[in-house]
Amino acid sequence: MSALPEPEASVMQRMRSVATLDNARNLALAYVVLHFGCIWLRAIRATGPIGLAKAAYHRVATFVVGLVLRIPANRRRLEREMNKAVLDIESSLMPSTTVPVQRELPAYGRTAPWIEAQLAALEHLGSSKDGENHDGTRVWRDGRCSGAVYHGGDDLSALISSTIARFLVSNPLHPEVFPGVRKMEAEVVAMVLSMFHAPSTAGGATTSGGTESILMACKTMRDWARAERGIKHPEMVIPNSAHVAFDKAGHYFGIKVRRIPVDPMTRKVRIDLVARAITGNTIMLVGSAPNFPDGIIDDIVALGELARRNRIGLHVDCCLGSFLVPFLERAGFVSEPFDFRVDGVTSISCDTHKYGFAPKGTSVVMYRTKALRRYQYFVSEGWVGGVYASPTLAGSRPGALIAGAWATMVRLGIDGYTESCHMIVGAAKKIERIVREEIPELTILGKPLVSVVAISSAGSINIYDVADQMSKRGWHLNALAGDRPAFHIACTRLTVPVVDEFISDLKDSVAQSRQRAAKPGTYATVYGMGTTTPMAPYVIGEMASRFIDTMYKIA
Ligand SMILES: *Cc1c(COP(=O)(O)O)cnc(C)c1O
């Protein structure tokens, strides 16, 4: 205000104040140019000119698609096509059944036997339609699923069921009411910390799953960086192969995510590019042990060194590796450094509900120091409902699941997990070896050390056609949309007995795909489209949302 000229100010004064205003304007302009110039320079350095060009293309394409869809005729045509596709989704997600639709609460409560009968029907809903399961067995039972079901055997299931029944109403939000659950929760964390060779300073927490563990680790590092490094515009540098939960964390917590390509041969994140992408705003790096797409363990030692040199965090995502990677050596397999023994690793996520065989809805996030864990907590001193403190996202939490995890881990022990690692990784190794030796049309991505084997085309064959053929034979595999078109199988205890079937079906599928001239199947359509048309991201995104809509449809 003081820079504004008074009405009767002298010419000199006026000139001086105009000059000041000009200066201010120039300064502001210079600041803006410098600020955005820096952002662009950093972006170019981090992403490279090709990456930047791709991003620019993506923006232009999104804009053009927006324009095209403004034309009503185009919009209507696309709507019609998508509605047709939604009907397909609905017929597969909502198979017809005799179980009545329950739109509202029944006026009078049903009897237990009536409910039992409906549950029995619901348990097998959809089984007879799916591939080979005409005998009414549950789809996942026969082991033709990649990942998805981490079954620890029927005896263990019985133990988990009775444990859950015993702690059904418990809630660790009230540790003074449920001291037994508190003890088990602390011990679950301690047992996992010791599996990952955590120092005595370390601490952890249980969460509802891998995604929550990752969300918590990212939020913790964001708050740490803000408090101790003054970083207000946080960024994380993660491999292209890292789990999408990191994007979710970036989305929820306002952290910019920079994805870095993997080496096309080793499938490990390119350390030189990670180093280049680190800026003054970087709060953390990420490595996977192993990653979801091709099951490869990143170079955690090199990432740890980068993290240490830049005084930032390194999170190791061992959600999938969970209770396999820590037991690889003991089970007689080759391993790579992945845990707190590596300098620079500040946090690790490990899913008890994957290869730990604990009930779904349990995972552990660990920090090198308890001081770091503090940044995860939420504490409110002034709430009218009383002082409130909770360690993770949820308020009330299922103590029954924690008890189930505790019982599972204590039941299996080091010997049990070593044996399951031996079986599961052994199955993956067998698939890898036979594909390499006996199916020249196919190739394996990288050198997998754990349970995931990613299979790609060695040349002329369309790998998504092979996936479609496998799907016709009743296999639920994961299609991969990365730099190399591929699909993967994550071996579980259920796949162990059907490895030979997998291999013979794979050989048949390859033979079929070679002579195939018919129209492409679902995998080939959805993933073959990839990024070849600018419309694809829009359509796939919209279809994914409609898929979720369908999940909440009753009839
Ligand atoms: C499964 C998985 C996660 C996320 O776990 P959810 O339990 O599904 O939330 C994270 N990272 C990797 C590598 C995974 O395979």
pLDDT tens digits along 65-79: 788 888 888 888 888
Among 292, 300, 318, residue to substitute to test ligand 1 (most atoms within 8 Å of Cβ): 292
The pTM of the full predicted model, rounded to 2 decimals, is 0.86
pLDDT of residue 7 exceeding 50, the answer is: no
What's the confidence (pLDDT) of residue 4?
46
Q: How many Å lie between the centroid of ligand 1 and the Cα of residue 211?
A: 6
Best substitution site from 149, 351, 480, 488 to test ligand 1's pocket, by max atoms within 8 Å of Cβ?
351
Mean per-residue pLDDT for 32-37? 61
Q: Contact 445/267 with Cβ under 8 angstroms? A: yes
- Residue range 107-113: mean pLDDT, rounded: 96
Q: How far is the CA of 315 from the centre of ligand 1 (A)?
A: 14
Q: 280 alpha carbon to ligand 1 midpoint, in Å?
A: 29
Pocket of ligand 1 (CB under 6 A): 209-211, 243, 245, 288, 291-292, 317, 319-320, 351, 363
Indicate the burial class of 347 (C-beta count within 10 angstroms; 0-12, 13-18, 19 or more).
buried
Q: In this model, does residue 160 exceed pLDDT 50?
A: yes
Residue 320 CA: nearest ligand 1 atom is: 15
pLDDT band at 530 (very low <50, low <70, confident <90, very high): low
Beta bridge partners of 478: 488
The pLDDT value given to residue 1: 40
Cα-to-centroid distance, 363 and ligand 1 (Å):
10
What DSSP assignment string belongs to 266-309?
Answer: T-SB-HHHHHHH--TTEEEEEEESS-TTT-PPP-HHHHHHHHHH
User: Tens digits of per-residue pLDDT, 328-370?
Assistant: 999 999 999 999 999 999 999 999 999 999 999 999 999 999 9
Which atom of ligand 1 is closest in space to residue 212's alpha carbon? 9
**CA of 423 relative to ligand 1 center, distance in Å:** 21
Atom of ligand 1 nearest to the CA of 290: 13
* pLDDT band with cut points at 50, 70 and 90 for residue 269: very high
Name the β-bridge partners of 307.
none
168 close to 399: Cβ distance less than 8 angstroms: no
pLDDT, tens only, 133-159: 444 455 667 778 888 777 778 899 999
Sheet holding 256-260, edge to edge: 203-207, 363-367, 347-350, 313-318, 282-288, 235-239, 256-260
At 10, the pLDDT band (50, 70, 90 cuts) reads low
For the chain, give every domain's residue range.
Answer: 26-70, 78-97+415-551, 161-413
% of the chain surpassing 90 pLDDT: 62
Average pLDDT, the chain: 88
The whole-angstrom separation of Cα 516 and Cα 481 is 22
Best of 214, 216, 247, 319 for a ligand 1 pocket test (most atoms within 8 Å of beta carbon): 319
Is the pLDDT at 492 greater than 70? The verdict is yes
Q: Residue 165: its pLDDT value, please?
A: 97
User: What is the reported pLDDT for 5?
Assistant: 45
Nearest atom (ligand 1) to Cα of 351: 7
Confidence of residue 168 (pLDDT cuts 50, 70, 90): very high
* Cα-to-centroid distance, 450 and ligand 1 (Å): 15
Choose one of 320, 350, 401 to mutate for the ligand 1 pocket test, by most ligand atoms within 8 angstroms of C-beta. 320
CATH architecture, range 78-97+415-551: Alpha-Beta Complex (3.90)
- Report helix, strand or coil for 222: helix
User: If pLDDT is split at 50, 70 and 90, which confidence band does 16 have?
Assistant: low
Mean pLDDT of 388-396: 94
Q: Does residue 437 carry a pLDDT above 60? A: yes
Characterize 351-379 residue by residue with b for buried, 16 or more Cβ atoms within 10 angstroms of its Cβ, and e for exposed: bbbbbbbbbebbbbbbbbeeebbebbeee
**Cα 444–chain centre separation:** 22
What is the Å distance from ligand 1's center to 218 Cα? 14
Q: How far is the CA of 508 from the centre of ligand 1 (A)?
A: 31
Per-residue pLDDT reduced to its tens digit, 277-304: 999 999 999 999 999 999 999 999 999 9
Q: 438: burial class by Cβ within 10 Å (0-12, 13-18, 19+)? A: exposed
Amino acid, single-letter form, for residue 307? A
**Strand 203-207 relative to strand 235-239, pairing:** unpaired
Of the listed ranges 365-379, 381-395, 531-545, the least confidently predicted one is 531-545
Tell me the residue type at 154: D
Rounded to whole angstroms, the Cα distance separating 237 from 298 reads 13
Point out the ligand 1 atom lying closest to the alpha carbon of residue 213. Answer: 9
Out of 3-12, 302-311, 434-443, 524-533, least confident range: 3-12
Q: Which amino acid, one-letter code, is at 87?
A: L
The protein residue with its alpha carbon nearest to ligand 1, atom 15, reads 320
Q: What is the residue with the minimal CA distance to atom 14 of ligand 1?
A: 320
**Which residue's alpha carbon is nearest to atom 7 within ligand 1?**
210
Q: Model confidence at 2, in pLDDT bands (50, 70, 90)?
A: very low
In this prediction, residue 161 carries a pLDDT of: 95
From the CA of 191, how far away is ligand 1's center (Å)? 20
- Return the CATH number of the domain spanning residue range 161-413: 3.40.640.10
Quick check: 40 pLDDT over 70?
no
Q: Which atom of ligand 1 is nearest to the CA of 318?
A: 13
Choose the residue to mutate in 212, 248, 300, 317 for probing ligand 1, maximizing ligand atoms within 8 Å of C-beta: 317
Cα pseudo-dihedral 267, 269, 270, 276, rounded to 10: 160
Residue with the smallest CA separation from ligand 1 atom 6 is 210
Residue 254 φ/ψ region, left for φ over 0, alpha for ψ in the -120 to 50 degree band, beta for the rest: left
**In this structure, are residues 319 and 210 in contact, taking their beta carbons and an 8 Å threshold?**
yes
